Amino acid sequence: KENEVLPALEIIDSLYEPGKKLTIHLLNPDTHLTGPCWRDFNRYVKSFGGWKAKRILATPEERKKFKFTKKGKAYFVKVIRTNPGTPVTKKKPPKKKTSAGGTKAGPGKSVGKKASKGKTNSAGFNGILAEAAALAAAQREAREASRPSKKARTA
């Protein structure tokens, strides 16, 4: 039984490696987010450091598989967590320098990605989902409250 637990612990430990990406499939195309809902959800996810949301357009075959019959676009929604830090990689050969003394990018130019700005909050995926669900429910209630009731329309 100890042999079965060890691989699970190794997987869990690997989740905290610097630069490691964890992708979580969140929604299928049959669960539709309208444009404003996607915008708000995406902003909310981005407010947590290291998290981002991504929409992937479903193919016609995937639309049939999930029984999405509407004419509009259908998307898969994924959330991605990137651990802070530089990923541990194998050493690469040093970059060749140009005659001007700089790297290929030019003198004084940095090569690579910019340092990430913003909060580094690892509140956890469950907290994000719970708050996103509450936000969606509040938006739905506000939308329903702004619509006149059926009795008011017929009167």
The confidence score (pLDDT) of residue 146 equals 76
Q: What is the pLDDT of residues 82-116, one digit of tens each?
A: 888 776 665 666 676 665 555 555 555 445 444 44
Is 78 in contact with 38 (CB distance < 8 Å)?
A: no
Bridge partner list, 51: 81
The confidence score (pLDDT) of residue 30 equals 87
The confidence score (pLDDT) of residue 79 equals 92
Reduced 3-state DSSP string for the chain? CHHHHHHHHHHHHHCCCCCCEEEEEEECCCCCCCHHHHHHHHHHHHCCCCEEEEEEECCHHHHHHCCCCCCCCCEEEEEEEECCCCCCCCCCCCCCCCCCCCECCECCCCCCCCCCCCCCCCCCHHHHHHHHHHHHHHHHHHHHHHCCCHHHHHC
Is 118 in contact with 27 (CB distance < 8 Å)?
A: no
Regions in the chain scoring below 50 on pLDDT: 1-3, 109-110, 112-123
The confidence score (pLDDT) of residue 139 equals 79
